[in-house]
Amino acid sequence: MLSICEAVGMPPSTGLRARMRAELTGEIKDEARRQLAAEGAPGLSLRAVTRSLGMASSAIYRYFPSRDDLLTALIVDAYDAIGAAAEEADASCSPGDYGGRWRAVGLAIRAWAVAHPHEYALVYGSPVPGYRAPEDTVGPASRVTFVLARMVDEASRDGALLESAEGLGLPALDVAVLDESRRLADLAFPHASDEVVVRAVIAWTQLFGMISFELFGHFHSVIEFVEPVFERSLLETGRMVGFPPPRRGPQEGGGADGGAGRGTGGGPGGADGSDGRTEADDERFYLI
Amino acid sequence: MLSICEAVGMPPSTGLRARMRAELTGEIKDEARRQLAAEGAPGLSLRAVTRSLGMASSAIYRYFPSRDDLLTALIVDAYDAIGAAAEEADASCSPGDYGGRWRAVGLAIRAWAVAHPHEYALVYGSPVPGYRAPEDTVGPASRVTFVLARMVDEASRDGALLESAEGLGLPALDVAVLDESRRLADLAFPHASDEVVVRAVIAWTQLFGMISFELFGHFHSVIEFVEPVFERSLLETGRMVGFPPPRRGPQEGGGADGGAGRGTGGGPGGADGSDGRTEADDERFYLI
DNA sequence: CATCAACAAGAGCAGTGATCACACAAAGGA
DNA sequence: TCCTTTGTGTGATCACTGCTCTTGTTGATG
């Protein structure tokens, strides 16, 4: 019964038919992404997508067996885009400038999130119940994480981390925490100490926690212009991890949008330092 | 046309009819909460709720004008429950033990979130597009936030904050950051310094960022037992804010579930220190 | 008692995800 | 070249959703 190119395994890829298929698949994803940006994930309708593409409603199931599969594809793309933005920002820095790299990558991730709020929400917001994340997502998902982890590990390896606050009144790590940090060290931090691994996790969760709070509206009537506060928090968490402060240089924005595929989200208010979000964005993707 | 008790303003409240109304409203919310816990927010169906309650599908609109209104009610309840859990945990501590209070409140918030993952996601996950948060939510929403802010401010007022890491290589606050921290200080931190306000925001976002990462599956294959790491992060962020370390005492759990209404989410694995989440929970509310 | 508002019920509308049988065209071996 | 296989587009159809409208009933209040 099921075949569809050996169950979505794609045929030899060459051939007129395969080209059409790849193209249409891309068009479907593009249109879906457009609707995602306009209405959010719950408002993404397969029928609306096919309607926009001028095809029968049942035709889309030849390309995506279910709505969840379409969402999965969008999730994978979003993860990849965030990862690419982070990697590009990291690469644009002097490798030894760990503080600058942390700052640049953090700013790039936030810039991408602000430019693509619904895709960010799709990935870092509440998971869709009943939808079990397939293995396809874990690879792209770890891309950003790995950029951050590598940064910490390289700094550890080079002895560039300031062991500033260590032993400043805090007790030694609990044995249960040690278990986790050891396992994590084997996974991505071969050179970092246990304390540094734990602090990296803290900085990591703070980074995304702050972005989520901003995009999900929890700063409503708390913080008006998030960017400067966000940048300050990068400084503070960077120091907590032990990074030396960013070197002064021609940074300013640290890779900005990252340029991962789609643009910065529209001209108005783009890089004037205000916030990146337009009024219209606020109108639709708002605050809880 | 529209009346429904002066547009859901409720009548004199007494009277047999009003009692029935209040009771049915509660039953609807309970059943909705049950479905929310089982299927998540997108799976919450008004028709299914009425079906479970043995009433006509159209009857529910007498109580909640739309699906969004039902969700709003659940959101308000969730905010209140989190706020109550945090307040209770805070109250159970010695007022001068700021480190202990920070720890207890953080643990209580996480315990509530782990026990009610879907309600947490409803409130701290991606907002529902097209749904504009009504003013009803901002009051309950600020309840938890205020518990945390008050803690920081009282510690500042009492001079209990260790100015440990201040000036440790970080430049002075940017003027844009100062604007925000000043506005925030007027709002909730009358006694705290600008640096402390900013660090409180960082600790706040880290707290919820870590909980969200845990519940939304971003620790999958990264951290197995989150609780000890979470507790360590409370220690670390507490020190960043300047809290003195928690006093040793009969704490252990720091208010635990908070007891805000519904129970801890089921017996198995409740308080054995493992994690609080059952296998069944993981099966349905999972990882992205 | 009479009146009016709140209520419950059912039919119905437009929309959704998903499945099916059917017709057609490309691909590839005989 | 024919002919089979396979992927593709179509329309009908199902079960379901949120929501509205109309109809009839019942409680509260003058």
Structure tokens that stand for A2 in this block: 């099921």
Note the pLDDT of residue B111. 98
- Regarding whether B39 and B13 lie in a shared domain, the answer is yes
- Separation between Cα atoms, residue A164 and residue A241, nearest integer Å: 9
- Regarding whether B39 and B118 lie in a shared domain, the answer is no
A288–B168: do the CB atoms touch at under 8 Å? Answer: no
Give me the B residues in range 48-107 that sit within 7 A (CB) of strand C. 55-59, 62-63
Report residue A193: phi and psi, to 5°: -75, 165
Q: Which amino acid is at B255?
A: G
Least confident of A167-176, B56-65, B113-122: A167-176
Cα A5 from chain centre? 31
Q: Is the pLDDT of residue B278 over 50?
A: no
CA nearest to B99 within chain A: A170
Please report, for residues A90, A95, A108, the alpha-carbon distance to residue A154 in angstroms, rounded to integers and kept in the order given: 12, 9, 20
Q: Which long-range contacts (CB under 8 A, 24 or more apart) does B189-195 make?
A: B189/B149, B189/B152, B189/B153, B189/B156, B190/B153, B190/B157, B191/B153, B191/B154, B191/B156, B191/B157, B192/B152, B192/B153, B192/B156, B193/B156, B195/B166
Helix-helix angle B16-39:B117-124, to 10 degrees:
90
First CA to last CA distance, chain B:
46
Note the pLDDT of residue B260. 38
Residue A47, CB, strand C, below 7 Å: yes
CA nearest to A218 within chain B: B124
* Number of domains composing chain B: 2
Mean pLDDT of chain A: 83
User: Which position has the higher pLDDT, B15 or A95?
Assistant: A95
User: Which position has the higher pLDDT, A48 or B18?
Assistant: A48
Neighbours of B159 (CB within 10 A): 8
Q: Is the pLDDT of residue B238 over 50?
A: yes
Residue with the two structure tokens 């789609």: A262
Q: Which residues of A are less than 8 Å from B126 in CB distance?
A: 40-41, 121-122, 125-126, 216
| B271 reaches A (C-beta below 8 A) | no
Q: Is the pLDDT of residue A279 over 50?
A: no
| A72 reaches B (C-beta below 8 A) | no
Cβ atoms of B188 and B144 closer than 8 Å: no
**H, E, C per residue of chain A:** CCCHHHHHCCCCCCCHHHHHHHHHHHHHHHHHHHHHHHHCHHHCCHHHHHHHHCCCHHHHHHCCCCHHHHHHHHHHHHHHHHHHHHHHHHHCCCCCCHHHHHHHHHHHHHHHHHHCHHHHHHHHCCCCCCCCCCHHHHHHHHHHHHHHHHHHHHHHHCCCCCCCCCCCCCCCCCHHHHHHHHHHHHHHCCCCCHHHHHHHHHHHHHHHHHHHHHHCCCCCCCCCCHHHHHHHHHHHHHHHHCCCCCCCCCCCCCCCCCCCCCCCCCCCCCCCCCCCCCHHHHHHCCCC
Domain-terminating residue out of A16, A45, A65:
A65
Note the pLDDT of residue B224. 95
User: Which position has the higher pLDDT, A171 or B50?
Assistant: B50
User: What average pLDDT does range A93-107 have in this prediction?
Assistant: 97
- CA-based nearest distance B12→chain A, Å: 31
Domain-terminating residue out of A44, A65, A86:
A65
Cβ atoms of A61 and A123 closer than 8 Å: no
Note the pLDDT of residue A8. 41
DSSP letter at B174 equals P
Q: Is the pLDDT of residue A167 over 60?
A: no
- Regarding whether A127 and A205 lie in a shared domain, the answer is yes
First CA to last CA distance, chain A:
46
Residue B24, CB, strand C, below 7 Å: yes
Residue B29, CB, strand C, below 7 Å: no
Cβ atoms of A244 and A160 closer than 8 Å: yes
- Regarding whether B194 and B85 lie in a shared domain, the answer is yes
Q: Is the pLDDT of residue A287 over 50?
A: no
- Separation between Cα atoms, residue A151 and residue A245, nearest integer Å: 14
Closest CB from B126, B130, B222 relative to A184: B222
D27 C1' closest Cα residue: B17
Binned at pLDDT 50, 70 and 90, residue A170 comes out as confident
Note the pLDDT of residue B273. 36
Helix-helix angle A194-215:B226-241, to 10 degrees:
80
Closest CB from A171, A202, A217 relative to B127: A217
User: Which position has the higher pLDDT, B14 or B259?
Assistant: B14
- Regarding whether A82 and A23 lie in a shared domain, the answer is no
- Regarding whether B50 and B160 lie in a shared domain, the answer is no
Note the pLDDT of residue A268. 35
CA nearest to B224 within chain A: A180
B16's CB contacts (< 8 A; 6+ apart) are none
- Regarding whether A227 and A267 lie in a shared domain, the answer is yes
- Regarding whether A247 and A219 lie in a shared domain, the answer is yes
Structure tokens that stand for B5 in this block: 């008790």
Least confident of A18-27, A225-234, B102-111, B244-253: B244-253
Q: Is the pLDDT of residue A265 over 80?
A: no
Q: How far is the CA of B47 from the C1' of D17 (A)?
A: 8
Q: How far is the CA of A287 from the C1' of D22 (A)?
A: 38
Please report, for residues A61, B12, B81, the alpha-carbon distance to residue B64 in angstroms, rounded to integers and kept in the order given: 36, 19, 21
Domain-terminating residue out of A48, A65, A82:
A65
Structure tokens that stand for A218 in this block: 């929890």
User: Which position has the higher pLDDT, B166 or A8?
Assistant: B166
Note the pLDDT of residue A4. 40
Note the pLDDT of residue A105. 98
A202–B210: do the CB atoms touch at under 8 Å? Answer: yes
- SS3 state at B220: coil
User: What average pLDDT does range A253-275 have in this prediction?
Assistant: 38
Q: Is the pLDDT of residue A210 over 90?
A: yes
- Regarding whether B21 and B164 lie in a shared domain, the answer is no
| A96 reaches B (C-beta below 8 A) | no
Residue among A13, A129, A5, A150 nearest A83 (CA): A150
CB crowding B208-229: b at 16 or more within 10 Å, else e:
bbbbbbbbbbbbbebbeebbbb
CATH code at position A175: 1.10.357.10
- Regarding whether B84 and B60 lie in a shared domain, the answer is no
Closest CB from A75, A125, A233 relative to B202: A233
Residue A58, CB, strand D, below 7 Å: yes
- Separation between Cα atoms, residue B19 and residue B26, nearest integer Å: 11
Q: Is the pLDDT of residue B56 over 90?
A: yes
| A160 reaches B (C-beta below 8 A) | no
Binned at pLDDT 50, 70 and 90, residue B245 comes out as very high
Q: Which amino acid is at A13?
A: S
- Regarding whether B129 and B44 lie in a shared domain, the answer is no
| B186 reaches A (C-beta below 8 A) | no
Cβ atoms of B258 and B85 closer than 8 Å: yes
Which of B82, B145, B168, B202 should we substitute to test contact with A (largest number of A Cβ atoms within 10 Å)?
B202
Residue B42, CB, strand D, below 7 Å: no
- Regarding whether B116 and B47 lie in a shared domain, the answer is no
B160: domain range? 73-284
Cβ atoms of B116 and B81 closer than 8 Å: yes
Note the pLDDT of residue B286. 33
User: Which position has the higher pLDDT, A286 or A187?
Assistant: A187
Q: Within a 13 Å sphere around the CA of A9, how many CA atoms are in the beta-carbon half?
A: 6
- Separation between Cα atoms, residue A89 and residue A254, nearest integer Å: 6
Q: Which residues of B are less than 8 Å from A39 in CB distance?
A: 129-130
Residue among B152, B194, B190, B153 nearest B177 (CA): B194
